[in-house]
Chains A and B, each alone.
Chain A
Amino acid sequence: MKPQKVAFAIIASLAISCGIAQAQSTLVESTSLPELPANLPSWLDNKNTNHLFHKRGKHNFDVYNIAPLARDLNAVAVGHAMAYEDLVTGKASTLESKTFNRINGVLENPPKFMPDEAFISPTFGRKYGVLEQVFDWTHVLHAQTVDVLANTSLSEAQKDKEIEALWDYYFQSVPYAITPLPMSMEYLDSQPYSGAFRKKYPKVNGLFWGYHWLQGSMYDALYGLNLQQQKQSYEIIGRRYHKTELYKTDRPFMPMFAETSPKFAIRFPKIANAFDNLHMLHDMVNDILSTDGISEAQKEQQIKRAIWLVSAQAHQGETPGEGADKTTGGSLHDHRYMEGMPGMGMMKGMTPELMWMPVMGWMNMSECHHCSMPLPKGENAWRTSTLSAEGWTMQVRCALCARDMSSETKGESILRIPLETPDKTLVVFSDEQGNLSTSTPGVLLLEEPGSHAKCNEWSRAFSSREAFNNWVKENPKYADAKLLTFAQWADLQGDKPDTYEKPQGPSNNPYDHAKSGTHIMDGGEEMNDADMPETASEPAAEIEETPNAESTETEQTFDESTEAEQTFEEETP
């Protein structure tokens, strides 16, 4: 080969390498890093082991009643720990190849028992022991709440009570509990290092966010259902997790708890917020560890700061709904939440009234996503139906809304339709072709179509004729209504709801400023505005960012210094 050609090849290779390096650069000027707040509590520097045992209860480890879920959760613990260990032991360059494959091997063959993460990531533990304490303790809350849901001897009311007790135990046992306040995700994800991990390691980041998807989705998949329904639900959720959610690399943001389990998030907003804040802490730590141009000491300092930001102590005396900062689009003490969803903090570019989700576009979380009518709330919140499909879970107002919305979605779905009491739920499964089935025998359904203003009345499900007759005593106008068997009801398709209004957001896609006019769809495909079914093409200039404290009908009071208390305005819609 001629010397000129060799020189050209070298120069070309260097140019390409530089280009790739620049494209993946996550260099941060060390001078731009935020400083560590003064007078931080001593627990942030503790050198103790501080292992704490689970709160005692007959429900402990009942997640093994749903063995595939238990094993998948065991694998999640391994995946996090393996990636962290490789990041701090000089193996970051093979994170997307060797580490990914190793983790994936475990995800495909999940361990039978929950492994001790400290045993998988000892170097990480020696370096970031306090962070490990925070993670471990909140993971215990995760595990125990799922154990309660999978228990077969507690009633639904007892389960609710025990979950509240678990929160108190979590919150009061250590100084390093995560705050239950809704946090501005926009603020937490706008640090100088934010986004570094997902940019450099999209596949491993996809796994992490897949875990978070599972850790969110499992709650509504279990809440209020019996063991058989839970097992059947997890067959679908587990398939979705393994086939799709673990390998998505096009999510604009981590899955939020309320996007995947809205019903549980409304009932237990503190827990939903704490889990979102924990998952955000995971993201912040990932970003710090994978940021170039900052020293090891600076990484340690920034991780300490990240722990502090999401700790309960940093927000003592603050209340949900308060702390709006319109000038910066979110701040550390911005605790506004989405309207109708006290278990979700403000997201990038969104307003308290409207949130944006990939595929779904803009939506109001206090309204039915099928007919735009307000959802039941307060003590009637249990009457809300939910639909899980395509990776999200939406709240809908009636059985018809759940069924018809399901028919508009791709792939398998799960419909959860409340029966006559909070402890009974009709669970309907839809296969890939849209065929509906249920394991609840003898269920009867009422469907007397009218305006969707009253769909929560004329579209209902009952466990028996007797249950219907009891309901008719208070609703005599339906005395002559024809009740449908499940098969008859499953064949129906309603008209487009007369009340539906497409919400209009302030922008096309708050996460995609660079690609104005296009939207990232499920699977990575892009669509133009004209093709988008749910997304507004025009910004809604009239929508103002209003603090929830003034604009929402749901009121919530958190007192972090004393026992957990919350009050909701309880009205019949």
Chain B
Amino acid sequence: MKKSLFQKSLFLLCVFASLRLNPAVAVDHNNLDAGRPLEFDDASSVAFREQAIEFGAAVSKPKSGVNFEGSAEYLYGFAKNSHLSVDFDPRFAREESGARRFDSGDIGIGVFHNFNREYGSTPAFALRADAYLPTGRDSSGVDFRLRAIATKHIFARSQLHLNLDLNVNNGAHDGERQTQPGIILGYSQPLGYPSRFDRTLVAQIGYRANELQSENGVTTVGVGMRQQVGVQSVFDVGVLSDLTGGSSREKLKIVAGYSRQF
């Protein structure tokens, strides 16, 4: 019971923190991290010696009911072109039993490395590896995700971001896939140029194998915006929808978040 109260408090803290804007003090609006607000990363790491904290809250509509999710991620540029990340994603969601319960989620620890900047006709390439500790409800085994990222400009200032994922579920139950490949094609486009320089439109289309062997893969489309709201802070908002995905499908997901560098 005590633990549950603690977890709920933590979740609420994340939600409140994500909504509290501080205009006085951005992570660059043009620098894209997964979850803020869509699912893809660009190939840029945070700067060497930079720290950033990113909060998010989401409301989603699965097959039935409404789920609430939060997220918090800390990033640290520990070396040139590389950063470490720690993230957790608590949620208040309906379980298979039908009851809605709080779940503190797995804690993720990741490392990101950018291999090169974009030059000539060569895209910028990066690799991100994450390990997810089984801290969430009914979670077992350490899961992994490997993500290869390529970013390239098209049409002047627009960028395409290709993310290739391999998710490894080490605690897979019967009927669940142990490895789930995925692919996301992201797009970003500055809005307002040449009179404003603080807003970026983002969009994505992605496909990933379903966690359940018996069900179709999940196709997700999304659109969002990142708006710089302070010298070191960015507010983001996005809408995602799973077009396919069987029982895992979320018809609609609305995401809002706040990132701050320091």
Contacts and interface: CB of A to CB of B under 8 A. Distances in A.
A32 interface: no
B195 A51 contact: no
B25 A53 contact: no
Contacts of B80: 48, 50-52
Interface-central residue, A48, A52, A109, A113, by most chain B CB under 10 Å: A113
Interface-central residue, A64, A114, A119, A120, by most chain B CB under 10 Å: A119
Interface residues of A, number: 30
B47 A111 contact: no
A49 B26 contact: no
A122 B117 CA distance: 11
Contact of B194 (A53, A56, A106, A116): A106
Given A61-B232, A113-B228, A119 B44 contact: no
A102 interface: yes
Interface-central residue, B44, B119, B157, by most chain A CB under 10 Å: B119
Interface string A31-61: 0000000000000000111111100100001
B153 A126 contact: yes
Contacts of B47: 51-53
B81 A49 contact: yes
A542 to B, nearest CB: 55
Given A113-B231, A119-B190, A120-B197, A48 B116 contact: yes
B215 interface: no
Main DSSP-derived SS at the B contact region: loop
Interface in A491-522: none
B176 interface: no
A112 B49 CA distance: 25
Interface in A83-108: 102, 105-106
B217 interface: no
A50 B82 CA distance: 9
A111 B194 CA distance: 10
Given A61-B25, A122-B153, A115 B197 contact: yes
Nearest to A115: B197
Given A51-B80, A52-B48, 15 more contacts: A47-B119, A49-B81, A50-B81, A51-B46, A51-B47, A52-B80, A61-B25, A105-B195, A106-B194, A109-B195, A111-B198, A119-B157, A122-B118, A123-B156, A127-B120
B45 interface: yes
Contacts of A122: 118, 153, 156-157
B136 to A, nearest CB: 32
Interface in B75-95: 77, 80-81
Interface of A: 47-53, 56, 61, 64, 78, 82, 102, 105-106, 109, 111-116, 119-120, 122-123, 125-127, 129
A49 B50 contact: no
A155 B111 CA distance: 41
B48 A47 contact: no
Interface string B207-241: 00000000000000000000010111000000000
The 8 tightest CB contacts between A and B, nearest first, are A115-B197, A53-B50, A51-B47, A53-B47, A49-B117, A53-B49, A47-B116, A61-B231
Given A61-B231, A64-B231, A126-B120, A53 B198 contact: no
B30 interface: yes
Contacts of A123: 153, 156
Nearest to A81: B197
A474 B89 CA distance: 70
A53 B118 CA distance: 20
B204 interface: no
B28 interface: yes
28 contacts: A49-B44, A49-B114, A51-B44, A51-B45, A51-B48, A51-B77, A52-B80, A53-B49, A53-B50, A64-B231, A82-B194, A106-B195, A111-B196, A111-B197, A111-B198, A113-B26, A113-B228, A116-B197, A119-B190, A119-B197, A120-B157, A120-B194, A122-B156, A122-B157, A125-B117, A125-B118, A126-B118, A127-B119
Contacts of A49: 44-45, 81, 114, 116-117, 124
A284 B198 CA distance: 30
A78 B195 CA distance: 10
A318 B241 CA distance: 63
